Chains A and B, each alone.
Chain A
Amino acid sequence: MIKLLKIEFRKILTYKVFWILIGLYFIFLSAGILMAEFMINNMVDNMNRHLPIPLPHVTIYFFPWVWQNLAFFATIRYILIFPAIIIIILITNEFTFKTIRQNVINGMSKSEFLISKLLLILLISLIMSVLLAIGTFIIGLSHTQVTGWGMVFERIPFILGFFISIFSFQVFAFFFGFMLRNTGLAIALFSLYTFIVEPVVYYFLKSPLVFKNGISPYLPVNSVLRVTEYPAIPVLKTLMGLNLQDSVSLWISCIPLLYCSVMIGMVFLIMNKRDL
């Protein structure tokens, strides 16, 4: 395991494309998180122009809600696409450079090769979760008058939700990468599916005419986004009695992980059958 990770590290350590994309990811992620409050309040201002009683401005960076809010904004599809594209590039590169053949010739089994990529995904997800937790903690501290640690950490399970989302989304990318083997094609189809195909199918299936109980939330990308489906805005709760999401649901978190196991299983099956 450690050996496989070490090999993966050697592949990315001096790979410029990887670090540029990681850098862009951090920029977009931070910008998304730090501008979220401003954007929401912008929306509130717009709405207030048509409302007789103006809504108050919201704040989203205080404990314990900050965990849920930052997990929510860190897992919108426009930001989640970055680590997914990185994974697609790292996987399809191995086919473009034919280095997957070389790895196998030199004594790696195909399964070990797949495991090494999954370990990398797991590690990236873990590192990102830890970084998000640290960032959230700092942002929360600077926006909250802490009265008790229990209150501070109340909604920390949303970090686990973030981990499940970022991990699953990268596993979807892993699936696209190994199935399509071509960098451009895999990125194009993955983005097309995430941004166009699934949203269209989602609204189509959502129509009560098609399915009474709605299976649209169970679509792959949607199941990932639904782990942290809503931000927590206490004002809405007190004002309108809206209670959108209090916690990470075990069942809802299982859906993307279920997709992951099916996709990983398919990749193992097909890769072990296919010639390199």
Chain B
Amino acid sequence: METILSIKQLSKRYGRIQAVKDLSVEISRGQIFGILGPNGSGKSTTLSITLDMVRSDMGSYSWFGENNSKECRKRIGSVIETPNFYPYLSPVRNLEIVADVKDLDHSDIDRVLELTGLYERRNTKFKTFSFGMRQRLAIASALLGNPEVLIFDEPTNGLDPQGIAQIRELILLVAAQGTTIIIASHLLDEVQKICSHVAVLSKGVKLFDGKVSEVLAISDSFEIAAADMGSLSAVIATHPEFASFKPKEDYILVYFNGDVKPGELNQFLYQQGVVLTHLSERKRSLEQHFLELLNENA
């Protein structure tokens, strides 16, 4: 797979705050790559560095395996934080400036305005736009000229549910055409719904990365209890899918690697000579899982 963005050992410090620490990430063509982390985990800083807005203290990055970051940026469409446009200019005039900077001709402007539902308002000044429309213009500007890579930093922040749904649809639509997409988000749900790959950041450090289905795989846990808790904990550890357990007050919390059904578990323990007095399956929400990931590495 062709590497689109390669980040090597990136570090950035703002005064006493270590925003990004020794971060390495590889993003390949065609991936929908989520950068997931709570607020202040270094997502935006990382993107700002790769877009040449912020200088890193250490480390390097390269787009498309090339060194000329200015020319590479012309092949990338970005929606970073707030939409930044000239308020006294209309969407068309604003996009003309974007097209000129990116060395594109102006023929694509109408298409992206139609795609984002702004065509009717194409000649109204930007300053009269609502927040949702501003965000849509930012997306239109990113889509201009069908770039190879799209970057979204918190793309649905501050939008109403309808707007969120529209933007997610739009992202998936573009992704279906083979565009590589990078999304920074603090919403696990968003990453889960859209992304194929994910890197989880916390306090500027990468905790995990890989396929969403693997990193964010949910292994359910069980509460189990027996008359003889000692032999229960010994026996449960011999289960082929056993991952770990946590002794609680009157039960043991067991995690498994694979998919284990309550019936199977009961049967397995019974065959090993343990009779359960309590068995309860625990479904973890994604959020819970995500928070656990963060806590384990805090």
Contacts and interface: CB of A to CB of B under 8 A. Distances in A.
Contact of A106 (B48, B87, B89, B101): B101
Contacts of B85: 97, 99, 102
A107 B54 contact: no
Nearest to A275: B54
A47 interface: no
B55 A11 contact: no
Q: Looking at chain A, what size class is its interface with the partner chain?
A: 20 to 34
A14 B90 CA distance: 10
Contact of B93 (A3, A10, A101, A276): A10
Contacts, number: 78
B98 interface: yes
Contacts of A13: 93
Contact of B100 (A10, A14, A101): A10
Contacts of B103: 3, 107
A245 interface: no
B53 interface: yes
A14 B93 CA distance: 9
Contact of B102 (A16, A99, A106): A106
A16 B88 contact: yes
B86 interface: yes
Given A3-B100, A275-B53, A105 B80 contact: yes
B84 A14 contact: no
A107 B86 contact: no
A105 B71 CA distance: 11
B267 interface: no
Interface string B172-189: 000000000000000000
Interface string A1-37: 0010011001101111100000000000000000000
B29 interface: no
Given A103-B101, A106-B74, A276 B53 contact: yes
B52 interface: yes
A15 B51 CA distance: 28
A98 B84 contact: yes
Nearest to A116: B101
Interface in B51-108: 51-55, 70-71, 73-74, 78, 80, 82, 84-89, 93, 96-98, 100-103
A118 to B, nearest CB: 17
B226 to A, nearest CB: 60
Nearest to B72: A107
Contacts of B86: 11, 15, 93, 97, 99
Contacts of A269: none
Contact of B82 (A98, A109, A276): A98
Contacts of A14: 88-89, 93
Contacts of A101: 53, 80, 84
Interface of B: 48, 51-55, 70-71, 73-74, 78, 80, 82, 84-89, 93, 96-98, 100-103, 141
Interface of A: 3, 6-7, 10-11, 13-17, 93, 97-99, 101-110, 112, 273, 275-276
15 contacts: A11-B89, A14-B93, A15-B89, A93-B86, A97-B84, A97-B86, A101-B53, A102-B98, A105-B52, A106-B73, A106-B102, A110-B52, A273-B55, A275-B53, A276-B54
